[in-house]
Structure 1
């Protein structure tokens, strides 16, 4: 028998043979490229070793936005290489539970690709199978990003950047999303539009996790930081919970701990991208560097270093590269800014951060952008209140806004869906810039009313600085603080003292501060970080032992350190001071100032807002803005009714406050009185202004200036805003708190109850029933009850009958509220019948309104 000397066929072809005509790129992973072919040679020594996979939307809508990041590792399975993602939320190190945890919460397969070839202990794979796929998960959000129905076409993906370094690989891919159907396209053509595709570029960073001496810092409910949470099954069974909660922060350590002021071993370096307009670079730099004041207080000098990228300096640095932190300029036409960061999910150590600032935000200062200044704009990011409105069915105030185009409805819903997806993917969401756009349009109107043609550069610069400070705060790990704006009174802010910090923190959504004519004008914007910001940085970065951290956190009751985040900032949440876009420790004073300001602006709207030769559509836009701002001020005040201040103090803290403190009854009465006298009162508009509310007639791509109806829908707008405020007052959570509040206050203290609210609303909204002048003859042009008030009173009856007393609405209403509502209806019926005895002196519309009201009440009571 002749021996078979044939060598066994190798498991894989030779990688050297396949790659010999390709360009090699040595680094963290060795790559080989030829045209659109891109292969990686992965050594087995790197199997099961975690590295960071970071994704950035590098071009297209939201270009420049850090999108997602995760810890991953390579694993071989037969003839495939798997990209795995471990579930780092669970652990049980060095215990018998460790194996159980790993078995129960296994790593997930992100992508599986075939092994093409082998060279020694290195395996060759095609990276297109990973990165030209939808690994970033953009197909889910493509309808929201691209305003239509799109699906990824992997065959059209192209590499637009490939760079390799010793500790990271940087890959850019231009993905193609093919249109299926486009929103708002009434002339959609299957034959034409199906062939359209939209490029959306994604940058991937594959980076080694650097060795670090970083020590995680425990999160505390009294101070707001983003963080990571890990459930540890190695904890004792007696532990109150299994979680480790760590704040997100940079690894700042002094070069010389013995020095009172020392540079850090590794400073935080921000590069201002060369795309930032020259006129704004100064303000961006100031906004970033402002945080050094807080770091100097705790012993760091030059903790943050700012460098300007130019055509010659730092020009070779890629903003998407995970090794560098950039401030970037974009033009997404979305009017926003964002400051996300990437962290080690096991420790909370921040590894990389980028800030994007949308150029279109500043164009609102020139009045050149259109913003939706109606009830939708007030509520589009308030998910809790939006759900409450939807539950109201036919009583939903926003259903009255039938004149809003389907495209505008869809745009709002699309944005809400996008934010929901981002939250579910644990991508921090900051809508700080969006309402600032409306603030800038208000600034434009005020500057024109003051005789200035344009908003001054210095004002815009301070605006850029404040937004920059806010977003930099996020990149340092700080969460929002929506209670900080309650620090100072409006009189203190607008005083000769002109405090530089108008709010306790730049991490609030602070409105621009405008004083009416004849009043001192303080700073328009907070020009520096506030006391809370210093305190938060002290907790996060001070070089102290763990025992000292508690002493720092115990300062929470000190002046200017109030804190509360997004969780309880809805219009239906209890604390009136945890809110967006409010300012001052006295909301009524704040609202009064703004109402006077808006009245003055309204007086000048025709004289100064539109220049000679311009169309009149901007008058309608400005008028919309005035109505929206007044309505928002009313909601700010309304939240005091049924309100309770929330505090996060711990047991044993100096000056510890109760978690709940009921808003004083007198303040609630004052708030209801203010609302009855303002938002619920009959408005008074100049006929000249109303006759110049011209519709927008531009109708083409990229604009929403077209008004669906030519005549301005004044009554619909007014009643929509009024009923939004009314619903805020009588929604179930407010009534529940009013029901509980008598039990929460000290015996003998004054209390504000459900009866006080409902009786007060009845008296205010139906005040005409007490004001009949029997010596006067009312006419249709001078009616007994104005058309605005007739609308409001009918809405009142709808709420009282169908909301409080109709069992078909599945909303839990306190029994007392139902009883008092019925009592008020009975009382109203008596008063209406009494007034109708004098119908000979009443105008026709008022009589008809009262008869209809009587019929509605009688029909319900007779049932």
Structure 2
């Protein structure tokens, strides 16, 4: 018995030694592995974290397989993330999918993309957590360069979220995290909707929830209902937004970027480049464009010049909520770009279609689908933004937002700009065909933005004014400008006797050239660089291919203006006024609707006044204007060219004739027996009396005419001229003398003044006083002197690329410039004149003179009468 016991003990000892030996070997292997890869943490051998088992989650919930497997257990949502996806880059895209009444008219509607960011997931099995980090992918450096270590440290990632690891799958190739908090409003890390749309505040988590979940091979879609409190000057009310978050897996290797050139208009992504060989950081801009490439088997044919179909075409879906009568025209507007892409070597590159039963997974909010979204809203607009991979400029998806009321803008343009020459554009309601053609033009314009094209406000300057009166020329060129990306609306220049028929904007030669430059595929990088440069050089002196940046309201370059036509604003506006007068004379007849109010008449009337005011500013831009050329070394072109003195003088003459002399036919006519000009507002139509409207609009023109920057540009132009060429310069002294002699003509001639003459003199004197006083203010005034822009003609697109336009700073220390002396000197000249005429004219005229003398003396600190 004792021998058997000893034998058993010996066997146990041997077994124990073997176990300990095996454990030591395993431990040594693990230690060796950790030494080889410091980033790899010790794997946890248990299949439960936080007391959850993977098998239990699967049994209790439902699973949607895809990029991340989405596991849902009642209201709890889990992402199962494969190990291979850690450290990969994802793009988070957040969109509005539902909005309530309270914010609908703020321009916030379904389909709008309000927030994008790049994220990566990092697994930490020691802390049993998953960290989510983000960064700005705008910096690059060669991997082997020494400076790369500094780049990594100085442009590092930031942690935006952390999740506990709940469990892992059976073979330990994926982990599971609970993600409710980032979609139900508790955390803003993935989705800060209220701050991003300007409502501020946070979501009320008890009034918010996850609504729907989808997972696909390269993206996931999560829909939520998020609620906050909102007050717009009244009682606080709950606001619930439907939001959709897309998480997209980005390619490991980004698309090869194409660098921008200031001589052609593409939206861009900024990028900084560091390298050891540099003496300074290199800053470049990547154009935004779709990844359009020939199929591998077609590359040789493509390079030989044959048209081939792209590997992946650009597809747009029509929102099923779009009224059926407009769908064809929207689709046609997209397909009109086919010719431009054929210029770049691709056929059937763009497709527009309605979703069918074959599109089983179609979802407007899914980033796999580019959609022209139709928004039921009183807003009158359309816009074409894109979702872009910021690493390369690749457009991943586009969403054109089409507001239902855009047709009110189209109708206003057509009636006012073409009613004189086109009977189809006169009634209160257009035929579906006529409105459809207008919708087609807007579709083409907005789709152009989704290809990456910016506004080209300089395109319309390529056509002479007289050519736009030619039936043959307009038929040949097909529209009002060589680019549909200009705001070159309808042909307001052509007169009835010209019989011009091609009066609608079309895709033109510049558009085809721009698409060719941005989308032509090249196999070799050097060849690409040389070819793109050669294409621009070939066309740089041809006005048809001129690119003019969109400017702010105060245009610096008169060639690049919104809503203008032709190469001569004065001549174009004179023709425009002739047609506008015809519209006004027929307005009561064209808007007649038995037993209806004069609402349509009042709206059309204020539209006509807005068109007149538009012409004023087109002309005004020439005064003190500068032609801005995007130049490069070796092109022998000047970067800055002052508008010739003769053109500036013509601009002043136009304004004296048509603005500073208020046109009776526009402001004082038989229409006023029936209605005032009126504008829609949230509380109903708002009426303007003609005297008030004329006075304020005229004041705005005068204030802009005598703006400090404009006068400084005129003054600086003198410095650049040779002494023997002084007579070719239009000076500030000449400007003031011309204005004074015209505005005070009846005073000089000892006549009594009319109400409108007194109004213009008061406006002129007040502008001089107010603008001079502002030179000595410490800060710029918060409120603009100019009339509310709502009185101007409507415009499309909320894509603001004006911030990218060139800006010449002339605002520093204006009070010590010649502007102060010039304005005070002009006030003194007027004071001398008024004192000499103070007792001439009727009583109203004498009262007027007394008033102006008092004002000027106070402004000049002169108390002597």
Query: Which residue of the other structure, out of 163, 167, 174, is the alignment partner of 1:113?
Result: 163
Q: Distance in 2 between matches of 1:728 and 1:333?
A: 32
| Counterpart pick for 2:639 among 656, 659, 663 | 659
- What is the alpha-carbon distance in structure 1 between the residues aligned to residue 140 and residue 478 of structure 2? 47
Where do 1:431-446 residues align within 5 Å? 438-439=412-413, 442=416
Match for 1:682 among 656, 662, 665? 662
Higher mean C-alpha deviation, range 555-564 or range 811-820: 811-820
Separation in structure 1 between the aligned mates of residue 774 and residue 294 of structure 2, nearest angstrom: 66
In the alignment, which residue of structure 1 is the partner of 2:691?
715
- Shift of residue 444 of structure 1? 9.7
Q: Is 1:809 matched up with 2:777?
A: yes
Q: Does the 8 Å contact 1:335/1:437 carry over to 2?
A: no
Shift of 1:771: 3.4
Residue 853 of structure 1 corresponds to 852
Partner residue, 1:844: 843
| Aligned partner (choices 646, 657, 661) of residue 628 of structure 2 | 646
1:415-814 correspondence runs (5 A): 438-439=412-413, 442=416, 452-497=427-472, 498=474, 499-515=477-493, 518-520=496-498, 522=500, 525-544=503-522, 545=527, 546-554=529-537, 555-566=539-550, 569-653=551-635, 656-684=636-664, 685-686=667-668, 688-693=670-675, 703-707=682-686, 712-745=688-721, 748=725, 750-773=728-751, 784-804=752-772, 808-810=776-778, 812-813=814-815
Q: What is the Cα deviation at residue 76 of structure 1?
A: 3.4
Indicate how the Cα distance of structure 1 residues 597 and 690 shifts in structure 2: closer, same or farther if over 3 A, else same.
Answer: same
Residue 403 of structure 1 aligns with which residue?
none
Helix, strand or coil at the partner of 2:60: coil
Distance 1:770 1:524, change over 3 A: farther
Q: Which piece of structure 1 moves more, 546-555 or 514-523?
A: 514-523
Task: Report the CA distance shift for 1:440/1:862 in structure 2 as closer, same or farther (over 3 A).
Answer: same
Aligned match for 1:221, one of 228, 251, 262: 262
| 1:424 aligned residue | none
Change (3 A) 1:527 1:509: closer
1:256-335 correspondence to structure 2 within 5 Å: 256-259=298-301, 260-310=306-356, 312-314=357-359, 316-335=361-380
Specify whether residues 467 and 110 from structure 1 end up closer, same or farther in structure 2 by C-alpha distance, changes over 3 A only.
farther
Matched, 1:207 2:257: no
Equivalent in the alignment of 1:157: 208
Work out which of the two has the higher radius of gyration on C-alpha atoms and give 1 or 2. 2
Q: How far 1:225 moved relative to its partner?
A: 1.1
Other-structure match for 1:140: 195
Cα shift at 1:802: 4.0
Q: How do residues 21-36 of structure 1 correspond to structure 2 at under 5 angstroms?
A: 21-36=60-75
Give the conservation status (yes or no) of the 8 Å contact 2:416–2:583. Answer: no
* 1:637 to partner: Cα distance: 0.4
Asked if the contact 1:571–1:639 (Cα under 8 Å) also holds between the matched residues in 2, the reply is: no
Q: Is 1:128 matched up with 2:167?
A: no
Specify the SS of the correspondent of 1:82. strand
Once structures 1 and 2 are overlaid, which stretch shifts more, 439-448 or 328-337?
A: 439-448
Gap change, CA 1:596 and 1:788, over 3 Å in 2: same
Quick one: structure 1 residues 611 and 444, their matched pair in 2 at CA, closer, same or farther if it must change by over 3 Å? farther
Aligned match of 1:15: 54
Change (3 A) 1:28 1:518: closer
Note if 1:254 corresponds to 2:294. yes
Task: Tell me if structure 1 keeps the 8 A contact 2:417–2:579.
Answer: no
Per-residue CA deviations over 1:500-519 (Å, capped at 9, x if unaligned) read 13112111222222357634
Given candidates 95, 98, 104, the residue that maps to 2:154 is 104
Gaps of 5+ in 1: 366-435, 774-783
Range that drifts further, 38-47 or 111-120: 111-120
For the residues of structure 1 that align with 2:415 and 2:243, how far apart are their CA atoms?
A: 33
With over 3 angstroms needed to count, the CA separation of the structure-2 counterparts of 1:166 and 1:74, relative to structure 1, is same
Unaligned runs of 5+ in 2: 1-15, 17-44, 100-107, 779-812
2:232 paired with 1:198: no
Q: Secondary structure at the match of 1:106?
A: coil
Residues 726-746 of structure 1: CA deviation (Å, up to 9, x unaligned): 121121211121111123346
CA pair 308-141 structure 1, distance change in 2 beyond 3 A: same
Contact kept in structure 2, 1:695 and 1:706, CA below 8 Å: no
Cα distance change on mapping 1:681 and 1:235 into 2, 3 Å: farther
- Give the secondary structure class of the aligned counterpart of 2:756: helix
DSSP 3-state at the match of 1:563 = coil
Deviates more, 1:664-673 or 1:678-687: 678-687
What residue is the counterpart of 1:372 in the other structure?
Answer: none
Q: Tell me whether 258-267 or 581-590 shows the greater mean CA deviation.
A: 258-267
Aligned pair count reads 750
1:29 Cα shift?
Answer: 0.3
Report the Cα offset of residue 55 of structure 1: 1.7
Tell whether the 8 Å contact from 1:142 to 1:150 is kept in structure 2 after alignment: no
Equivalents in 1 of 2:339, 2:775: separation in Å? 59
Task: Report deviation, 1:830.
Answer: 3.1
SS in 2 for 1:201: strand
| Counterparts in 2 of 1:524 and 1:855: CA distance versus 1, 3 Å | farther
Asked whether 1:73 is paired with 2:57, we answer no
Q: How far did 1:806 drift?
A: 7.0
Which SS does the other structure have where 1:798 is aligned? helix
Alpha-carbon distance between aligned partners in 2 of 1:38 and 1:10, rounded to the nearest angstrom: 17
Cα deviation 1:103-151 (Å, max 9, x = unaligned): 222212233333333443533222221122343322125556xxxx875
Structure 1 CA distance, aligned partners of 2:201 and 2:128? 33
Structure 2 vs 1, CA of residues 548 and 274 (structure 1 numbering), >3 Å: closer, same or farther?
Answer: same
SS in 1 for 2:728: coil
Contact 1:516 1:600 (C-alpha < 8 Å) held by counterparts = no
One of 224, 246, 249 as aligned partner of 1:173 = 224
Q: Is this contact kept in 1: 2:428–2:591, CA < 8 A?
A: no
Residue 422 of structure 1 is matched in structure 2 by none
- Give the match's secondary structure for 1:271: strand
Contact 2:47–2:167 under 8 Å retained in 1: no
Give the C-alpha shift of residue 643 in structure 1.
0.5
Per-residue CA distance 1:780-802 (angstroms, 9 max, x = gap): xxxx2222332231222223234
CA displacement at 1:636 relative to structure 2 = 1.0
TM-score, reference length from structure 1 = 0.81
Partner Cα distance (2:590, 2:285) in 1:
55
Q: Is the Cα contact below 8 Å between 2:47 and 2:54 reproduced in 1?
A: no
Residue in structure 2 matched with residue 87 of structure 1 by the alignment:
136
Q: Match of 1:62?
A: 109
Aligned: 1:39 with 2:85: no
CA, structure 1 residues 658+704, in 2 after alignment: closer, same or farther (shift >3 Å)?
Answer: farther
Q: Which piece of structure 1 moves more, 712-721 or 443-452?
A: 443-452
Check 1:637–1:478 CA distance in 2 against 1; reply closer, same or farther (3 A cut).
Answer: same
Q: CA deviation at 1:551?
A: 0.5
Deviation at 1:284, TM superposition (A): 1.4
CA distance in 2, matches of 1:123, 1:647: 57
* Whole-angstrom CA distance in 1 between matches of 2:378 and 2:721: 50
Whole-angstrom distance in 1 between the partners of 2:425 and 2:339: 35
* CA apart distance, 1:672: 0.2
Q: CA offsets, 1:739-783, max 9 Å, x none?
A: 11123346537111111222222222222223335xxxxxxxxxx
* Shift in alpha-carbon separation, 1:136–1:578, aligned structure 2, 3 A: farther
Output one character per residue of 1:25-83: Cα deviation in whole Å (capped at 9) or x when no partner.
11110111244322112233322111222222122232012333222111235343232
> TM-score, with normalisation over the residues of structure 2?
0.81
Distance in 2 of aligned mates of 1:759 and 1:104:
59
1:353 corresponding residue in structure 2: 398
Provide the rounded CA distance (Å) in 1 between the counterparts of 2:314 and 2:499.
36
